[in-house]
Structure 1
């Protein structure tokens, strides 16, 4: 049996997110909860009708599509060519999808930029994560707001499940989670069609203080923090999420 691995790859996200297995493993995500989050967020930001919105790291575009249904002019951007090809089936005059590296600013400016569901902190080098923040800031219009929806590292580490087995669509995923060198790492092993696969997800274990430090370096103003998708205030030890509004 051959073994496919990307554990040595610096850019783990470039291969894992492009596989069909990524979407199988995460297909039960709660999209209704995500839609309620979009409703709450756009209402809180008081976005004007037909505002230009960027969904940064949009995956297959499900949230970009919903934002477009709310009446916004939306661009979904992602590094995964497969995901963008899939998302493009839903494109229309006010919904566009592009393959894009989030370290690069956009030429056009947006009234709101959303980076959702812990799609930040993937880069091995700190300066690349800083570049991403600066690119977000530089892609905002004069009156625009940005939102990063990140895990709350404190509750994630307190509730980390080290080992888990999940069977989905006849595929048995063995998942191991741990913290190492400032990253939260998830190792995913499974077999399919006689082939063994091994993937890793690595996300920086950034705290609110880490983000504040990066934002200070980037000339970014943190305006508000929330701790869940209903926009309850952020509490370090109990909140599910770390949601930051900035400009």
Structure 2
């Protein structure tokens, strides 16, 4: 399978502006989630862990600090080049399309913070789940952390202006044809930019159907980073544990 070069995620994630816009994400909350889920999984010492769609590797680095043997994988060449400076004997980064299984098998695979559902073709979501399943060891677990689309659609903020590092980002959000769209326009050094994030609004039922087709067994569903129960109308997240 050839690498995508013309999709929104391949172009947007490879720009420095993506990292500028999202520089203030709550990474402390993210680390709390990683602490909670790794304790819940009770992974063996030196477990092999894949951080799938790792970006610049912040969560891979934290997982490695917890004592795991970590591979961070991402489609973005620029992100992987940046992350590679943090490599060590038990942490490496690779450029990888999540639709392809890896030859190496993992005790745990994490796909965190809505890094799924980017593909325009429904079949690619199925292909990705199958690839995750094939990349697990016999006793391995996967964790897919997705938005709760019911709550997101119900609370969609249609317009927002955000200034970061002197750049004014004009953001509009909408729900169209089964996708949640986030259009981002800005000007930097006299040049106009226009990007649109497009994520499939997958529900728990959608995932259950995809997992059934993939031969995946869904073990648990959580609704937030403290691993509380999932409620369709109330939960902030849709976090699925499967094997």
Normalised TM-score (structure 2): 0.98
Aligned partner of 1:38 among 17, 34, 41: 34
Number of the residue aligned with 2:119: 123
In structure 2, C-alpha distance between the alignment counterparts of 1:146 and 1:10, rounded to whole Å: 29
List structure 1 segments (4+ residues) > 6 angstroms apart after TM superposition: none
Unaligned runs of at least 5 residues, structure 2:
none
In structure 1, C-alpha distance between the alignment counterparts of 2:159 and 2:226, rounded to whole Å: 30
Show CA shifts across 1:54-94 (max 9, x none): 00000000000000000000000000000000000000000
Number of the residue aligned with 1:90: 86
In structure 1, C-alpha distance between the alignment counterparts of 2:230 and 2:82, rounded to whole Å: 35
Residues 1-247 of structure 1: matches in 2 within 5 Å?
Answer: 11-247=7-243
For the residue of structure 1 that corresponds to 2:221, the secondary structure is strand
Following TM superposition, by how much is the alpha carbon of 1:40 offset from its aligned partner in structure 2, in angstroms? 0.3
**Is 1:10–1:124's contact at 8 Å kept on the other side of the alignment?**
no
In structure 2, C-alpha distance between the alignment counterparts of 1:132 and 1:60, rounded to whole Å: 21
In structure 1, C-alpha distance between the alignment counterparts of 2:143 and 2:219, rounded to whole Å: 10
In structure 2, C-alpha distance between the alignment counterparts of 1:154 and 1:162, rounded to whole Å: 16
In structure 1, C-alpha distance between the alignment counterparts of 2:146 and 2:204, rounded to whole Å: 10
Aligned-pair Cα RMSD in Å: 0.7
Number of the residue aligned with 1:5: none
**Is 1:225–1:234's contact at 8 Å kept on the other side of the alignment?**
yes
Show CA shifts across 1:152-194 (max 9, x none): 0000011100000001111000000001111000000000000
In structure 2, C-alpha distance between the alignment counterparts of 1:150 and 1:242, rounded to whole Å: 5
Unaligned runs of at least 5 residues, structure 1:
1-8
Q: Tell me: higher relative CO, structure 1 or 2? Use CA pairs within 8 A at least 6 residues apart.
A: 1
Normalised TM-score (structure 1): 0.96
